[in-house]
C-alpha cells in the first residue's frame, strides 16, 4: 500500500497553521454576500405572515386533518432543540 506522501506529493512538514490562514486584508474568496441569508429569511417570514393573514388559522386545521405527519413535523420544528426541564415531585 502506497504512503499518502507518495500519492499526494511531498509532505508539508514544518508548515504551521499560520501558513494556511487568511492574511489580514485578504478576502477568503467568493461566497454569499454579508446579510443575504438574513434578507432571504426575513422575506420568507414576511411572505409566510402575509399568507397566514390572508388565509387564516383555518389552514392549520386542514393541515392537521389532511397531513398529520407534516403537521407534527412542523410543530416539532418550532420546538427549541435544547431546553431545560425541571421535574418537581408532588408533595406527599
Summarize pLDDT for 7-19 with one digit per residue, the tens.
Answer: 555 555 555 666 6
Summarize pLDDT for 25-60 with one digit per residue, the tens.
Answer: 666 666 666 667 788 888 988 998 899 899 888 888
pTM given for the model = 0.40
DSSP for 41-92 reads HHHHHHHHHHHHHHH-THHHHHHHHH-HHHHHHHHHHHS-SS------PPP-
Maximum Cα interatomic distance, the chain, rounded to a whole number of Å: 73
Reported confidence tier of residue 90, pLDDT bands at 50, 70, 90:
confident
Average confidence (pLDDT) over 69-87: 86
Q: What is the pLDDT of residue 47?
A: 92
Amino acid at each position: 500500500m502506497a504512503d499518502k506522501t507518495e500519492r499526494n506529493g511531498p509532505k508539508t512538514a514544518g508548515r504551521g497553521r499560520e501558513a494556511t490562514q487568511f492574511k489580514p486584508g485578504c478576502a477568503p474568496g467568493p461566497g454569499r454576500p454579508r446579510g443575504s441569508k438574513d434578507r432571504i429569511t426575513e422575506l420568507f417570514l414576511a411572505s409566510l405572515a402575509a399568507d397566514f393573514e390572508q388565509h387564516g388559522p383555518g389552514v392549520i386545521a386542514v393541515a392537521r386533518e389532511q397531513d398529520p405527519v407534516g403537521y407534527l413535523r412542523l410543530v416539532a420544528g418550532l420546538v427549541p432543540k435544547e431546553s431545560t426541564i425541571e421535574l418537581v415531585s408532588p408533595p406527599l
